[in-house]
Amino acid sequence: MSEQDSDAQPVTVYEAVGGADFFVALVEDFYSAVAEDPALRPSYPDDLSDAKRWLALFLIQYWGGPMTYSEHRGHPRLRMRHAPFVIGMVERNAWLGHMTTAVGRSGAPIEARRLLDQYFEQASLAMINQRL
């Protein structure tokens, strides 16, 4: 199919990275670092399984895959869902550092990586709910 075809669709990030398995692996790598981080670990429950599952499903949905996250959780309302946790610049930077590392070694194509990095940088700022 040439790029001139009228039914040519832009490729989503979800497609570009190869689908759901990519996000499951990304989240697994990310959470293995969170689990070892004293600035972040106390905010999370002992069992990280649900946190992993929801984050992977959210990212799959956000980047153009199936809407399974919202079928279970409704509208993401991520800022509201993060309100119970203390998220200042320190926590945000720790979170973003682990996610950027995970994205960096994920094997995603460069353009997808750029979009993921850009998104996480901005979205993690929006999660801040403390001045300190």
Taking alpha carbons only, the member of 124, 96, 108 closest to residue 26 is: 108
Taking alpha carbons only, the member of 128, 119, 62 closest to residue 93 is: 128
Question: Is 63 or 120 the residue whose CB approaches ligand HEM more closely?
Answer: 120
Distance CA(107)–CA(118), nearest Å, equals 17
C-alpha gyration radius of the chain: 16
Question: Is 4 or 17 the residue whose CB approaches ligand HEM more closely?
Answer: 17
- Please report how close the Cβ of residue 97 comes to ligand HEM at its closest, in angstroms: 10
Distance CA(51)–CA(106), nearest Å, equals 19
Question: Is 8 or 88 the residue whose CB approaches ligand HEM more closely?
Answer: 88
- Please report how close the Cβ of residue 45 comes to ligand HEM at its closest, in angstroms: 5
- Please report how close the Cβ of residue 100 comes to ligand HEM at its closest, in angstroms: 11
Which spans of this chain sit near ligand HEM (rule: CB under 6 A)?
40, 43-45, 50-51, 54-55, 58, 73, 78, 81-82, 85, 87, 91-92, 95, 120, 123-124, 127
SS3 content of the chain, % helix, strand, coil (to 5): 60, 0, 40
Question: Is 23 or 95 the residue whose CB approaches ligand HEM more closely?
Answer: 95
- Please report how close the Cβ of residue 119 comes to ligand HEM at its closest, in angstroms: 7
Return the H-helix or E-strand segment holding 41.
none
